[in-house]
Amino acid sequence: MKAKLTRGQQWVYELLNSTSTEITAQDLYAQLQAQGRSLGLATVYRAIKALQLQGLVQARVLTNGEWVYRLASEDCHYLTCLNCGRSVPVEECPAHGLQQKLEEKQHFRVFYHTLEFFGLCSTCGETSDAGAV
């Protein structure tokens, strides 16, 4: 059972629910301010953390070190370019069976998982190959 959400947590949850892409905490803060909702940046971070601990929000770190958040509605998998930072979603997941085994064997409640492969996209790879000696 989910704990009752505070007003700030509810606002962050609603905003994430209305956003179709991942979003940074700073962008969440800016959008809440634009909506006239008075919530400090530190409170936004606390709300995100509380929602994560309830399994409602998932996070991942970008190649520039910035964290992005989204609702934990589905597992996410990406191919991420180390040069340009672009992430491309991957539809299939080889980890679902492993997740179920870990939950059963380790008695661990998994809210979500991410799988990310890092390398060079075709554009950056071509640029890299052209400069090779």
Interval 33-87: pLDDT, tens: 999 998 999 999 999 999 999 999 999 888 889 999 999 877 778 899 999 988 8
State residue 13's pLDDT score.
Answer: 95
* Average confidence score pLDDT of the chain: 88
Q: Which residues are annotated as a binding site for Zn(2+)?
A: 81, 84, 121, 124
State residue 106's pLDDT score.
Answer: 92
List all residues 6 or more positions away from 53 whose beta carbon is below 8 Å from its beta carbon.
none
Q: Which residues are annotated as a binding site?
A: 81, 84, 113, 121, 124
DSSP strands (E only) in the chain: 57-61, 67-71, 76-81, 87-89, 114-119
**Residue 24 phi, psi dihedral angles, 5° rounding:** -80, 160
Q: Which residues are annotated as a binding site for Fe cation?
A: 113
CATH 3.30.1490.190 domain locations along the chain: 74-133
Confidence label for 116 from pLDDT (cuts 50, 70 and 90): confident
Query: According to CATH, what is the number of the domain 74-133?
Result: 3.30.1490.190
Fold of 1-73: Arc Repressor Mutant, subunit A (1.10.10)
